[in-house]
Amino acid sequence: MKLFANKKNTNTRPQRPRRARKKRSPRQNSLLYLLSILLVSAVLATTGILLGNDLFALAKEDREITVTIPEDASIGQVSKLLDNSGVIHYGTFFRLFTSIIYPDVSFRAGMWTLNSNMDYRHIVNEIRLTQRSTQTVTIPEGYTIEQIVDTLVENGLSSEEELNSALQDATFNYDFLPEDLGNETNRLEGYLFPDTYEFYLNDDAESILNKMLGNFENKLNDDSNGDSLAELCEQQGMSVADMVNIASMVQKEAVDTDDMYQVSGVIANRLNNASEYPYLNIDATIQYAVGHLDLTDEDMENDSPYNTYTSKGLPPGPICNPGLDAMKSAVSPAEHEYYYYVANADGSAHIYARTQEEQTANIRRVQAEKDAQ
């Protein structure tokens, strides 16, 4: 007796014979090889053209860009900085080029205005540490164009004639500038950022001004601590021109940084209630128009458009070059109900008022304190 029966093969489907893989003909192999060579050549050629354009600046746009190089910056750090700022497009290639051509190069720390149409050699020669003489100049916050020109002339950087000619006639390609600059010497008022600069002694007047404008652009778009000033202006529906205009008045009127936000709040309240408060009543705008600080009754009636006691709304333009704090306060004013202020007896602070009656009482009290001194 069989314990296990033989199993039959139930798979009756005939197995198909494997088809032999068709081999490419020598002609096809040659064609594919040729196509591969052409593809690789095209990629290499395109890459070479792009790198060559960046290296030699063959077809790059003409745009002034200000960069700040830190102390003891390495080739890699500078390459990344130039790439991120838009001076060059291929930081790794710039690093390779500089390492080969200038293996022991050191870079001068500071703020430098470059152009995106510079070739690599020109860029390196502009920012590397050399024996080229420089002059360090500090432009205080709140300086007017006239004061800045005097400071630059006093430091031997340019002549008054060259600076005024550039201020009037030079072309400055910055998006933040008003479209119609006109040709007055104060057309850049508000946009020459106050800071400490290191200028080359043989820089021309236009290069000096571009360095200051480039610094303003950097500050306007700096978002390292949150939203940039440009972004805050957009959020508030405020133009950069109006922001700078308000900031220039705040810079001249406020006694310290905290007071800037309070003064800005008064300006904002008046602008937002123009039907009831059509005039800003800012003494500093008249001082700008007449050119002196001690205002007379005749000065107060001056018909200049900068007289905010007789001309409604904002003045035609900024009255000085404000610093960063003033610009921040202009776009983020303090929220309060004040429409007036007056300096206390020693000028160390402002006294704020909601109504004309409060303001009149404050003025009388301050005058009494002055008389008693």
DSSP string over 256-312: SHHHHHHHHHHHHHHHHTTTT------HHHHHHHHT-SS--HHHHT---TT-TTTS-
Closest C-alpha to 77, from 117, 50, 105, 100: 105
What is the Cα–Cα distance from 244 to 268, expressed in whole angstroms?
Answer: 14
Rounded Cα distance between 334 and 260, Å, is: 9
pTM: 0.77
The pLDDT value recorded for residue 23 is 61
pLDDT digits (tens, 9 = 90+) for 196-245: 999 988 789 999 999 999 999 999 999 999 999 999 999 999 999 999 99
**What mean pLDDT is predicted for residues 110-116?**
87
Question: What's the burial of 324, exposed, middle or buried (CB within 10 Å: 0-12/13-18/19+)?
Answer: middle
Residue 192 has pLDDT above 90, yes or no: yes
What is the gyration radius of the CA atoms in the chain, in angstroms? 33
What residues contact residue 89 under an 8 Å CB cut-off, 6+ apart?
A: 50, 54, 83
Residues 293-335 have pLDDT tens digits of 999 999 999 999 999 999 999 999 999 999 999 999 999 999 9
pLDDT tens profile 247-286 = 999 999 999 999 999 999 999 999 999 999 999 999 999 9
Give me the pLDDT at residue 200, please.
87
